[in-house]
Amino acid sequence: MHDDHDAHSHDHDHAHGHDHDNLYSDMQARVKALETLLTEKGLIDPAAIDAIVETYETKVGPRNGAHVVAKAWGDADFADWLKRDATAAIASLGYTGRQGEHMRAVFNTAETHNLVVCTLCSCYPWSVLGLPPVWYKAPAYRSRAVIDPRGVLAEFGLTLPEDKKIRVWDSTAELRYLVIPERPEGTEGMDEQALAGLVSRDAMIGTAVAASPESTP
């Protein structure tokens, strides 16, 4: 039996199929009840949840990816390594792990702009970008990025030249894509840390480009 409708096939007490609404209308209460249940059963450790949250609030985020980009801008050998084996090159900077096991770096060029989406769920390179923003996981972006990328980019305030090629990467497998934006003009002589400051999360998804030094406070 396929479980397409298994939420409705159980013999439970709710007569009109409103169990979803009843169960989920208050997510704060719903999730607290679930955590309580799982803790009582010894299945989870609330301190582990704290540790997970702390990791993604303070340790794993888009600064990791910005470091990768800045290093690629300033170090041709590293950029080459990133093209050939992004997983290893990124791991050499200490960024590994969950949802970054199989990395690919895609380089913007004068001819081509890259944009990353997961139309099927919310695949995202956590190890270098952290947790995805809400819009990345929401239907508007997931539905339109593949059919109307210019329209989507305009909603981020990004208008590309009409002849610029756009390549959309739909993350349908376990490969996780990091966009390496083009290095802005006027950044000669800037050190890696200053360069990283020009690289936003969105620039590494492809919904932005790197900031120019003049526009960055």
Partner 1 sequence: MNGPHDLGGQMGFGPVAPEKNEPYFHAAWEKRALGITISCGAFGAWTIDESRHARENIPPADYLAASYYEIWIRGIDKLLERHGFATREELLSGHALQDGAVPKRVLKADIVPAVLAKGGPCDRPVKTAPLFAVGETVKTKNFNPPTHTRLPRYARARTGVVEAVQGSFVFPDDNAHGKGENPQWLYTIVFDGAEIWGADADPTLTVSIDAWESYLEPA
Per CB under 8 A, which region of 44-52, 68-76, 78-86, 182-190 contacts partner 1?
44-52
Is residue 27 within the footprint of partner 1 (CB under 8 A)?
A: yes
Among 9, 18, 45, 84, binds partner 1 (CB under 8 A): 45
Count CA atoms within 13 Å of residue 81 on its CB side.
17
Annotated catalytic residue 123 = yes
Choice between 139 and 217, CB closer to partner 1: 139
Active site residue 171: no
Give the one residue of 74, 83, 107, 119 binding partner 1; rule: CB under 8 A: 119
Alpha carbons 123 and 132: distance in angstroms, whole number: 9
125-164 residues near partner 1, rule: CB under 8 A: 127, 130-131, 133-135, 137-150, 152, 155-156, 162-164
Binding track, positions 46-75, relative to partner 1; x by CB under 8 A: -xxxxxxx-xxx--xx--------------
At 80, which amino acid appears? D
CA distances from 118 to 39, 42, 136, 144, 191 (A): 33, 34, 8, 11, 33
- The distance in angstroms from the start CA to the end CA of the chain is 59
Residues 6+ apart with CB under 8 A from 109: 182
